[in-house]
A = this chain, B = another copy of it.
């Protein structure tokens, strides 16, 4: 089934990683591709402890736009890995892929083509989820931000925001 976690609220990526944890705890195999993001976050470090979890970081970590060839290349690589993983894993998490689609790094038709055939769980996260992804999804949760300390000028904290 297809899950979409979108909206501007905190918790989309962590919800996906929590779902990975749930699946791993039940003996499932999980593949995670992180689009957009560059470095290795706390959750990536932690999930790598599980032998049934694989992570591919396939972003530049740069703030977009402008879009460079490198951004497009990383997104293409991530999508290729996703296409393969969907055939053999129980759960495939495409973190921030909605943002990659939003910025035109990935064609929504190509993504739809890949996930439509999926027999495993596919989780798509990130703001700006495309209408067609929401239409095809079985689960859609909108994460709505009601309060965030950013508003008070507090910066992202290690262990909490990344």
Kindly state whether residue A14 has any CB partner on chain B within 8 Å: yes
Chain B: minimal CB distance from A129 (Å): 10
**One of B5, B44, B47, B147 near A11 (C-beta < 8 A):** B5
A121 at the interface (CB under 8 A from B): yes
Q: Chain B interface: which of A63-71, A96-104, A132-140?
A: A132-140
Given B25, B46, B144, B162, which contacts A141 in the complex, CB threshold below 8 Å? B144
User: How many A residues face the partner with a CB closer than 8 A?
Assistant: 55
Residue of B nearest to A48 (CB): B25
User: B50 contacts A46, CB within 8 Å?
Assistant: yes
A16, A46, A137: which has the most chain B beta carbons within 10 Å? A46
